[in-house]
């Protein structure tokens, strides 16, 4: 496995990679969720590039940029074990030249839901993903369904800017009790970790209602809200039933939709979602 740290090294390595080249963008602290993306990329592409970059522009003031878990040695071992060809581990200056001020803004899909609570977050995500796609020029790029709004944002940017890449969206990897794996789960206290599957249970309640024929947005949102309300350590930020393409809240589901919710614990905010075809 080649470890490259700057644009020049990547430019030198890129022409030697057999295609199709697949890219898996990550912020490191790799777990089985990331591994699922890498495995899918390995199965579908001749070359696998994993980027490990804690992107400062997607963190708001007061968020955990400084303390975000970083363990490069363990991440590189995990990449090597997963058969990665190139680990791209840039310093901040390798992604953002000094004084950089250009951003990619996807509009309204980036300002609702997580974007309302984390202003600028999706501008940071869209900007770094655009830069990574431009640097690596992959034929395919892989993202997790767990970050459902991020998937909507990236689909939108790829479509709007005509980026020549195919997206692979990988189902959420969960612990046995249903909690979606996340690098931030480590911020939960033991009691909160025991309570955290409430997020999944809320989604399952709405999915069961939908499977039973319920199409009313408010009733589906209430199904999620009621489950979270029963857990004293958790407080619901939002429960959403939105159009899968625009993320507009729906009065009724009559096409592809995204059920999603965000739940606050003392030191961690958990998100989860489920697409409805
Ligand atoms: P992150 O390192 O948190 O930026 O995540 C990198 C990629 O891994 C994103 O596309 C995430 O959606 C994806 N990912 C993170 N956790 C999971 C999970 N539990 N299951 C599937 N994909 C995930």
CA 97–ligand 1 middle distance (angstroms) = 26
Contact 224, 203 (CB under 8 A): yes
Atom of ligand 1 nearest to the CA of 180: 19
CA distance 23 to 16: 15
Residue percentage of the chain with pLDDT more than 70: 100
- For 191, the token pair is 């009691």
Name the pLDDT band for 2 (thresholds 50, 70, 90).
very high
Contact 152, 109 (CB under 8 A): yes
202-261 pLDDT, tens per residue? 999 999 999 999 999 999 999 999 999 999 999 999 999 999 999 999 999 999 999 999
Question: How would you list the strands of the sheet with 257-264, edge to edge?
Answer: 235-243, 257-264, 269-276
Contact 228, 239 (CB under 8 A): yes
Cα distances from 36 to residues 42, 251, 267, in angstroms, run 10, 34, 27
Handedness of CA 229, 235, 238, 239 (dihedral sign): negative
Contact 217, 197 (CB under 8 A): no
User: Helix, strand, coil: what percent of the chain each, to 5?
Assistant: 40, 20, 35
Choose the residue to mutate in 23, 30, 33 for probing ligand 1, maximizing ligand atoms within 8 Å of C-beta: 33
Mean pLDDT for 85-94 is 98
Within 10 angstroms of residue 234's Cβ, the number of other Cβ atoms is: 21
Determine how β-strand 86-88 pairs with β-strand 2-4.
Answer: parallel
34 tagged catalytic: yes
């Amino acid at each position: 496995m080649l470890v490259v740290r700057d644009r020049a090294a990547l430019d030198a390595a890129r022409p030697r990679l057999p295609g199709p080249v697949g890219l898996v963008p990550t912020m490191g602290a790799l777990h089985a969720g990331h591994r699922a993306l890498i495995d899918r990329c390995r199965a579908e592409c001749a070359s696998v590039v994993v980027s490990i970059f804690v992107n400062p522009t997607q963190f708001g003031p007061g968020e955990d940029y400084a303390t975000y878990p970083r363990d490069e040695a363990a991440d590189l071992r995990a990449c090597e074990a997963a058969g990665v060809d190139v680990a791209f581990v840039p310093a901040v200056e390798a992604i953002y030249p000094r004084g950089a001020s250009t951003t990619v803004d996807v509009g309204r899909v980036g300002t609702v839901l997580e974007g309302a609570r984390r202003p600028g977050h999706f501008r940071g995500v869209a900007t770094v993903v655009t830069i990574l796609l431009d640097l690596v020029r992959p034929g395919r790029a892989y993202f997790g369904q767990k970050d459902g709004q991020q998937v909507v944002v990236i689909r939108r940017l790829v479509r709007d800017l005509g980026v020549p890449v195919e997206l692979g969206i990988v189902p959420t990897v969960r612990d046995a009790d249903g909690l979606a794996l996340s690098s931030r789960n480590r911020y939960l206290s033991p009691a909160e970790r025991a309570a955290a599957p409430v997020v999944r249970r809320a989604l399952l309640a709405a999915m069961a209602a939908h499977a039973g024929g319920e199409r009313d947005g408010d009733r589906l949102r209430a199904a999620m809200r009621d489950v979270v309300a029963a857990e004293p350590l958790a407080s619901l930020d939002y429960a959403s039933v939105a159009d899968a393409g625009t993320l507009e809240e729906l009065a009724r589901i009559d096409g592809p939709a995204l059920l999603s919710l965000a739940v606050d614990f003392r030191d961690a905010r958990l998100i989860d979602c489920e697409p409805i075809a």
